[in-house]
Chains A and B, each alone.
Chain A
Amino acid sequence: MFQNLSDRLQGIFKNLTGKGRLSEADVDAAMREIRLALLEADVNFQVVKSFVAAVRERAVGAEVTASLTPGQTVVGIVLDEMTSLLGGSNARLTMSSRVPNVIMLVGLQGSGKTTACGKLANLLRKEGRRPLMVACDVYRPAAIDQLEALGRELDIPVYRGQGSDPVHIAAEGVKQAVATMRDVVIVDTAGRLHIDEEMMDEAARIKSAVRPDQVIMVVDAMTGQDAVTAASVFAERVDFDGVLISKLDGDARGGAALSVKSVTGKPIIFASVGEKLDALEPFHPDRMAKRILGMGDVVTLIEKAQETLDEQAVTEAEERLRKGDLTLDDFLGQLRQIKKMGGIASLLQMMPGAGRMKGAVPEVDERQLDRIAAIIQSMTAEERSKPQVINGSRRERIATGAGVTVFDVNQLLKQFAQTRKLVKQFQKQGGGKGRGKFGLPPGMQPPFGM
């Protein structure tokens, strides 16, 4: 639906060929497109105004070289400005030498604070810390149960305290950490509206009670124009230190990130990309800039592939693929790899103009994967390597064994057959040579021009 920005700009600049300098008229035409792109991405309209003005100033008179088209030149300037506005170099969670360190999470209702609490605890433990989570949301039904459930899942302790005073609970939580030798405390607070005086005051009081090393505001990536209002009041009342952008696994362009950064000046530290407790990444300003402009995030895609794929396993599977005999075991292996990379949706989402490909590839998540694994594991070795032998009665046996319906088994076999067909087609077209290192089809290979 959303045309790549550089394509749109290319249209504008089609009369301007070769070298030269960008004229005011050229640039103004381009700025209209950029303004639209930013507004469509939910960047606050006031932020858009000052941003566009800054870019315009730099772009007028800019030299167009032989290697870049005028469109690419402008996009380059826009990307550059936006990246530096979003934070330039990557921000990190700053901790002090105090023991325990305290991190406090704040934000609007439903933004993802409690989940982020679990994710941060998980991350810090990986870095060798001993976290304690403190449940200070005494308002939302079952909020404390929620944090405790996350604690159980992670096997990380949760302090739930007594009574209904979050300020007291937070302070007690820190004492508890000292007593139990935990070296970092993560305080989950209730969701609150920035215009709720009492609740904002409470947040400020929790903050002064535990003097956190870092207060992180959690901002939903889907937030619209109002993100600036909420963020600036939170900055004023609780003076947070950094931002975590949540729900970036969807297809929201995430202009709120730019808005929040430019009105509060607070660094964006983390990107949350899923409901699972390991779906937390450092925030990359350059990638976010591309995403906001609707240009896809190829770098992340490639990096993820490099990080996650077990090359040995992939090579073996590729070998079989080349011969055209994909087995159900391979299929399961592939799904697992895809899942490790954050699911097809998050991969597709990172590709420029890939929105349309949605649904072309089976989507996998943990819940579904368990079911698929159960089905495949209920098959005999013969069935796994030669799925064509799976007849009706075998299907029933497999379904019973896996605790699913025959419908589910059929569904899986259908998907498998489709994948196998797809693979064969790739073989024919590219002879296996067009594919890159990680077996990505040609269309998914870098480099993408801007």
Chain B
Amino acid sequence: MTAPWYRRLADGLSKSRERLGGQLNILLRRGPDLDEEFWADLEDVLIASDMGVTAVTELVGRLRDSAARHALPDAEAVLAHLAEEIAEEFVSHSGTTDLLDDPITLLVVGVNGTGKTTTVGKLAKQAVDSGRRVLLGSADTFRAAALEQLDVWAERAGVPVVRRDRGADPAAVVFDALGEARRLDSELVLIDTAGRLHTSADLMRELQKVKRVAEKESHLPVRIMLVMDATTGQNGLVQAREFDAALGVDSIALTKLDGTAKGGIAVAIARELGIPIARIGFGEGIDDLRPFDPRDFSHALIGDTER
């Protein structure tokens, strides 16, 4: 019934392209010439993806070099090359193994409202579908109805959830959850945490404590997943930096790619921190989650969906 994910991604993107007259089309409509105007427009397109000026300037500089060196004939060839270059940023920075294949305890963290709880629900469903024993832990004891929200996802995915009352110490919930995980011999433990801004040193310390407790209590290796909203601008890089410094981030889930934001900040993050992207989210449904494919992503990013 549903189209393949990249089609749906492309649909979202092309809808917005029609509306906006198409950013990529601007580049191609101008004709194939590689004049100054082309490079300036290309820079704009990439800046519009939230990749950040620094990354864009460097990338376009490199691209101009190789356009000259490899005598790239026209705009089309340059764009094809560009998609490869962007994909390379991810491939060269990250391994190819999927950390979610292994039995782990995953702490799902991030700033407010990025899609942590939803992603936990989606991940649980996927793991259950592949026959694994999954347990959820509800360490967001702060936000109103966060517990109830995770309960709904647990029910949808058909997995048990360990929780305490609102206001309880999140580390205590993790303690309970991991005890239960040992008892149930769970193969994947997903801990949902409260959204917090990386600028709150206190809440970041709280998270470090949660991680310490998890490492002490978990019978599985503990990993950290940062959930990042694809609409995020340059602050996304700061977020990744700070969460990484506080906890050591093992992977990123990039959500809300079903909108018109391209998620270019992920490129900046890959360049600077080399944190692999494990999943992308592209909807509010339980199945709207897929592994990240650098090539598909970079093609979607520069607007080239005709693959």
Q: Which residues of A contact B259 (CB under 8 A)?
A: 108, 193-195, 226, 230
Contact string against B for A residues 118-145, beta-carbon threshold 8 Å, 1 for contact and 0 otherwise: 0000000000000000000001111101
Could you tell me how many residues of chain B have their Cβ less than 8 Å away from some Cβ of chain A?
54
Q: Which residues of B contact A349 (CB under 8 A)?
A: 199
**Given A142-B145, A145-B148, A229-B16, CB of A249 within 8 Å of CB of B199:** yes
- CB pair A112–B53 under 8 Å, yes or no, is no
Q: A361 to chain B: closest CB distance in Å?
A: 9
From the candidates B12, B50, B205, B235, name the one contacting A225 in the complex (CB within 8 A). Answer: B50
Q: Which residues of A contact B113 (CB under 8 A)?
A: 109-112, 220, 247
Q: Which of A42, A44, A255 has the most CB of B within 10 A?
A: A42
Q: A218 to chain B: closest CB distance in Å?
A: 10
Whether A40 sits at the interface, judged by CB under 8 Å, is yes
How far is it, in angstroms, between the C-alpha of A368 and the C-alpha of B143 when the chains are bound?
A: 15
Whether A345 sits at the interface, judged by CB under 8 Å, is yes
- CB pair A146–B261 under 8 Å, yes or no, is no
Q: Which residues of A contact B142 (CB under 8 A)?
A: 275, 367
How far is it, in angstroms, between the C-alpha of A150 and the C-alpha of B166 when the chains are bound?
A: 13
Q: Which residues of A contact B92 (CB under 8 A)?
A: none
Q: B106 to chain A: closest CB distance in Å?
A: 20
From the candidates B148, B231, B234, name the one contacting A226 in the complex (CB within 8 A). Answer: B231
How far is it, in angstroms, between the C-alpha of A148 and the C-alpha of B166 when the chains are bound?
A: 14
- CB pair A225–B47 under 8 Å, yes or no, is yes
How far is it, in angstroms, between the C-alpha of A227 and the C-alpha of B232 when the chains are bound?
A: 9
From the candidates A40, A143, A153, A220, name the one contacting B234 in the complex (CB within 8 A). Answer: A40
- CB pair A251–B148 under 8 Å, yes or no, is no
From the candidates B152, B233, B262, name the one contacting A142 in the complex (CB within 8 A). Answer: B152
Q: B278 to chain A: closest CB distance in Å?
A: 20
Whether A343 sits at the interface, judged by CB under 8 Å, is yes
Q: Which residues of A contact B231 (CB under 8 A)?
A: 108, 220, 223-224, 226-227, 230
Give the bracket for the number of chain A residues in contact with chain B.
35 or more
Whether B260 sits at the interface, judged by CB under 8 Å, is yes
Q: B296 to chain A: closest CB distance in Å?
A: 19
From the candidates B112, B145, B200, B262, name the one contacting A112 in the complex (CB within 8 A). Answer: B112
Q: A108 to chain B: closest CB distance in Å?
A: 7
Closest to A118 in B: B144
Whether B198 sits at the interface, judged by CB under 8 Å, is yes
Q: Which residues of A contact B152 (CB under 8 A)?
A: 141-142
Which positions in A face B, CB cutoff 8 Å? 36, 39-42, 44-45, 108-112, 114, 139-143, 145-150, 153, 193-195, 220, 222-227, 229-230, 233, 247, 249-253, 255-256, 275, 343-345, 349, 358-359, 362-365, 367-368
Q: List 24 A-B contacts (CB under 8 A).
A: A40-B52, A40-B53, A40-B234, A42-B233, A42-B235, A45-B48, A108-B256, A110-B112, A142-B149, A150-B144, A195-B259, A220-B229, A222-B236, A224-B236, A224-B261, A225-B261, A249-B197, A249-B199, A250-B199, A251-B238, A252-B238, A253-B234, A343-B200, A363-B203
